[in-house]
Amino acid sequence: MAERSDCIFCRIADGAVPAAIVREDDYTVAFRDLDPKAPLHVLVIPRRHIASINDVADDDAAMMGALFIAARDVAVSEGVAEDGYRLVVNTGAAANQTVHHVHLHVIGGRDMKWPPG
């Protein structure tokens, strides 16, 4: 698993790697996905490195809440909140987690199908 120094998302959060940032605050950074799966596809990450949901600690509750508030704010600012959007969290290899840093996918701008994947 990636450590902070070689984690691409940590490097984006630190400003060392450029990204199309759409929102940031003390706890989170949101940026456009480089391989979008819908007209809107934004990733929301915590600034602090946490490899996966399995690594979230009980005392991370406030930070996880900030992550979901940031996702909501992205949906509102990007104009998909009223029509609907999907939040996706992939955890582990079988779920196709390719970057080992907790992140929410905010996906919208088209009708979603169920079941996914």
Which residues does 60 contact at the CB level (< 8 Å), separation at least 6?
50
Alpha helices in the chain (DSSP H): 8-13, 61-77
pTM of the shown model: 0.94
Q: Choose the catalytic residue: 41, 100, 101, 103.
A: 103
- Report pLDDT for 16: 96
Res 116: pLDDT = 80
Q: Is 103 a catalytic residue?
A: yes
- Go through the chain and tell me how many residues it has: 117
Helix or strand holding residue 43 (H, E): strand 40-46
Which pLDDT band, with edges at 50, 70 and 90, does 7 fall under?
A: very high
pLDDT value for 5: 72
How is residue 86 written in tokens? 């999907």
pLDDT at site 117? 62
Domain topology for 4-108:
HIT family, subunit A (3.30.428)
DSSP secondary structure letter of residue 111? -
The whole-chain average pLDDT of the chain stands at: 95
